[in-house]
Amino acid sequence: MQVTIDIPEPLYSEVESVAQAAHKSVAELALDQLSRVASLRGRYPLIKSQHPGSMKLGGIDCGDFLETGDPS
């Protein structure tokens, strides 16, 4: 399958540099990275807890944190 995507020029320049350093084409680099991301699917949590559900948030309002990024 062939896919076309629009990539901003500054990002494409960075990707070209990374590909050159890895001795790969941009297409090979993209395919490698997409394959890596696809292989992670369904493999969460990345770190398994010995005590799931035991985390205490200490009065933090998660809604405020999600909206502002600041729990205070």
- Write the pLDDT tens digit of every residue in 10-65: 999 999 999 999 999 999 999 999 998 888 777 666 667 777 776 666 666 666 66
For residue 69, is it within any domain?
A: no
For residue 26, is it within any domain?
A: yes
Looking at 22-61, list the stretches that DSSP marks H as alpha helix, in order from N- to C-terminal side: 26-39
For residue 16, is it within any domain?
A: yes
Number of domains in the chain: 1
For residue 54, is it within any domain?
A: no
For residue 2, is it within any domain?
A: yes
Any residues with CB less than 8 A from the CB of 49 and at least 6 apart, and which?
A: 55
pLDDT at 71: 53
pLDDT at 18: 94
For residue 70, is it within any domain?
A: no
CA 32, 35, 39, 45 torsion-angle sign: positive
* Full residue range of the structural domain in which residue 40 is found: 1-48
pLDDT at 51: 76
Cis peptide before 45 (omega within 30 of 0): yes
pLDDT at 10: 94
Place of tokens 């990024």: 69
pLDDT at 50: 78
For residue 27, is it within any domain?
A: yes
